[in-house]
Every structure is written in C-alpha cells, then in structure tokens.
Amino acid sequence: MQAKKHKIALVGYRLNKGGLEKVMSSLSVYFGELGIDVHNIVFVDDIGYPYSGTLVNIGKMKLGQRNFFRKLNLFLFFNKYIKENEFDFVIDFRYRVKPLQELIFSKFIYSAKTIYTVHNSHLQTYLPNSRFLTRQICKGKHSVVSVSNGIKMLVDEKFKLQNSVLIYNPVDLDKIKTMAIDQIDINSPYIISAGRFDANNVKQFDKLIIAYSKSILPQKGISLVLLGDGDLMDVYKEIANRTEFTDKIYFLGFKGNPYKYFKNALFLVLCSKYEGFGMTLIEALACETPVISFDCVSGPNEIITDQENGLLVENQNFGSLVKAMNLFVENTVLYNQCKNNSLKSIEHFSIKKIGKQWQNVMGINIY
C-alpha cells in the first residue's frame, strides 16, 4: 500500500525581495524535493523567488474593488481553499498586525496543524501586544516558531506559550556557491550592505552612509555598495550627495543574485534598528565574506563570534561601527582570520540541517 503524500500550505504576503520571503522560498523548494505536495499561497502579486508545487497568487485574482467586499471575497476564497485541501500543515509566514483579523483566521480558517512563524524581535509585527489575544490566537495550534533564540526568549517571557519552538532560518549553501561565481561590473574594492529601503528605515542605510564617510575607507579607495530598493531610495541618495564621497557610494537596486556582490566585497555591514535573524549575515559568510554587525537584541550574536568570523559592535553605537570598519581595513591578520572562518562558521544553518528540524517538528520523516 502506497504511503499517503504529505500536503503543506505555505502562506505569505509575497514571494520576492525580502529575507522572510527567501526563507519561505527555500523551504518550499526543500519540501518539494522531499516529494511533499507544496501549496504556496500569497496575497500580493509579487513573485520572484523560486518555489515548488502549486502557486496560489490571490493578489492576482479579480476579487472586486479594494473595499469591504473585496476583503470579504478574499476571506471566503482563502477559507474555502484551506478547508477543501485538508492540509497536513499550514505554515504562516505573514506579518500579522491586525489582531482581530488574526483571531478570525485562527478560529475559523486555521486548524490545529497550523504553525505561526516570528521573524524579528519587533514582536507586534507577528503577534498582538496583548497576551490574552496572542494566547487566544495561538491556542490549540501546533507551534509558534521563532527564528532565533533571542526572539524565542522574548516570546516566552511575554506570552508564556506552551507551543513555542526555535528553528533558525536556513541557507542553501550549494545554491549560493553556484550563484556567487558570476561576474560583477565593479572594479574597485568595496564593502556592502543590503536590505529594503523601507519607510521605517529599519536598516538605517542613511546612518551607514554617514558612518562610511567618517571612516578611513574612502581615503583608501574603498567604496560602499548598497543593494535594495524602496521608499527611501531618493532620501539615501540625497544624503550620499551631501558627503564628499558621493562618487564612491553605489546604489545598485534590488538584485536577484546578491551573492556575487557579497562574494567580491571586503566585508558586509549590518546596522539595523532591530533584527530577527540577519539572513544577509549568513549569506555573506556563506560567500566567505566576513561581516560587521550591531549586537541587536536578537540574531547577529547567534551568527557572529566576535573576532572569529566577524565583528560585533555595541548596539546602535555608530561611533564604534566606524572603528570596526577601520579595524577590518587596518588589521589584516584579524580580517584574514575572520575570512578564513566565515564559511565553516555557518554550516549548521544549511537547508538540509534546518529542513530536518522542520520535519521533526511536524513529525514528517522523509530522508
């Protein structure tokens, strides 16, 4: 008798450009390679990352005008799709900033085999501030997966959930190695940073530009490359134009293959207001490029061992960030040590090892 084929729904807002979306993409491909029937459900018509199985692009559907009736039709379609397909598991990667909506999803759409994910230390992006509401939403669900130990500690302390689990974000080392060998069109030495240029300025590229201009890097002919796009692009360009090194600051936009740029950079810098895990740190290290990061509440200190594969800087201390960038340029022994340790330091985050943890959580044993 043939074994029943497992069936999983991955639910997100989009499948493009962000770190969270990249995680959803990686798991979709991984589950598909295991022979699992994967359904990728997205609410915004923005598809760029690879996936396995079926794509349900609700954002592309004609469900009426953007008003109450469209939202109702969306709800009814989503509810019907989840119910009719009888998924073994539903994994929810969405931002969940509307508590009432999430309570409705929890009670009327999602079953007990639902897994919620929490991707940064700004918990209200994924779980309501109210302990009562969060516990009602998560009650009876399979798991609440935090992507770093720092996040899990915050979730456990605030909400006292019984189904809290830690699973780090995965990285596809083989894919990155293959894509990183592509040629780039940058001839000068450079450092790099990457992320969304969102209106909340989470990645703080404006302050990174100023920190770079205060460092010794421009005088040594080392450029700053920024990958990403979004609402603040013009703001960042204006700040760059006000420095005396505007000719050394490059805005390359969003890149489907950032790895070739990571591979050829001297090092990557992350100076976010907050992080969940810090996927760009993992990806840069996978490209054998050392990293510098603020020691955020969660994420970076679970990836970086200070002065072993990168430098950890006091959180939000931009003066210390300048000193760290200078140190990596001036201390070649330290820099080379971190570079040599980079790849092996993140091998435990490989998609094969993290994917197996997902299998264990769901009780799906496929080898």
Helices and strands, counts by H and E, the chain: 13, 13
Q: What pLDDT shows up at residue 69?
A: 75
Confidence at residue 2, expressed as pLDDT on a 0 to 100 scale: 44
Q: Which two tokens stand for residue 329?
A: 């340029």
Predicted pLDDT at 65: 61
94-133 per-residue burial string, b: 16 or more CB within 10 A, e: under 16 = bebeebeebeebbeebbbebbbbbbbbbbbebbbbeeeeb
Those residues of the chain that have pLDDT short of 70 are 1-4, 63-66, 367
Token output for 311: 């430098």
Q: What is the pLDDT of residue 62?
A: 72
Q: Say what the pLDDT of residue 298 is.
A: 84
What pLDDT score was predicted for residue 1?
37
Domains recognised in the chain with CATH numbers: 7-170+350-362 (3.40.50.2000), 173-348 (3.40.50.2000)
DSSP characters for 191-205?
EEEE----TT-TT-H
Contact in structure between 287 and 262 (CB atoms under 8 Å): yes
Kindly report the length of the chain.
367
Question: pLDDT averaged over the chain?
Answer: 93
